[in-house]
A = this chain, B = another copy of it.
Amino acid sequence: MKGSRLTIVDAARRHIYHNGYGSTSYADIAHETGLGKGNIQYHFKAKEDLLHAAVDQQIQDIREQLESWSLDCGTAYDCIERFIAMVEKNAKNLSLHGCPMGSLNSELGKHERRLQDHARAMFDLYLRWLEARFRSFLPRKQAQARAEQLMVMAQGASVLAHAYEESQIVRRQAKIMRQWLHDVCDQS
């Protein structure tokens, strides 16, 4: 049995991912958790607090994910391919709801720049981790550029797949990313 607070944050993450932050209300979370609206507001006085908690938990998940990849994978190449495999594995959700990281940043970037500063930290985690892997076989500046390029491909695939509600777009782009990664390694 987990505490109310964690239940609320889980529901908030899901609802924000599926409907966006602006279309997420206390009433929605109350309905989804079965708790009263006042209870949600006892734990999170302001709506912004709810978002910060949801982002914090997601950041924690990403940290653990990247750590486990670093341990599991042998070479830097395998690590980066693991990232691509993650994108491909989530093809269905990406086509249905977009990327949880990208779509949240897009929404908050429009008119909640202060909150977006926090959401951007998710991008930082992935980018710095990818850059560190690329640095095993590339100079610093090139490693940075390659990490950025891979993230651009992943985000672009998510946007297009979501627009067309077509998970095959993600799978096609994952294949292209693998070929690209292979070529990048060859050239080094």
Q: Which residues of A contact B (CB under 8 A)?
A: 18-20, 22-23, 97-98, 102-103, 105-107, 109-111, 113, 116, 119-120, 123, 145, 148-149, 151-157, 159-160, 162-165, 169, 172-173, 176
Contacts and interface: CB of A to CB of B under 8 A. Distances in A.
A174 to B, nearest CB: 11
Nearest to A113: B165
Contact of A162 (B22, B106, B111, B173): B106
How many identical subunits does the complex contain? 2
B156 A151 contact: yes
Given A111-B20, A154-B156, A155-B156, A149 B163 contact: no
A152 B148 contact: no
Contact of A155 (B97, B159, B172): B159
Contact of A148 (B20, B106, B169): B169
A62 to B, nearest CB: 15
At the interface, is chain A mostly helix, strand, loop or mixed?
A: helix
Top 3 A-B pairs, shortest CB-CB distance: A156-B156, A152-B156, A155-B156
A20 B120 CA distance: 19
A105 B159 CA distance: 8
Contacts of A163: 102, 105-106, 109, 116, 119-120, 123
Nearest to A169: B148
Contact of A98 (B18, B106, B151): B106
A117 to B, nearest CB: 10
21 contacts: A19-B110, A20-B110, A22-B22, A97-B109, A97-B110, A98-B110, A102-B106, A103-B110, A106-B106, A109-B162, A109-B165, A116-B163, A123-B163, A148-B169, A148-B173, A152-B153, A152-B156, A152-B157, A152-B169, A152-B173, A153-B156
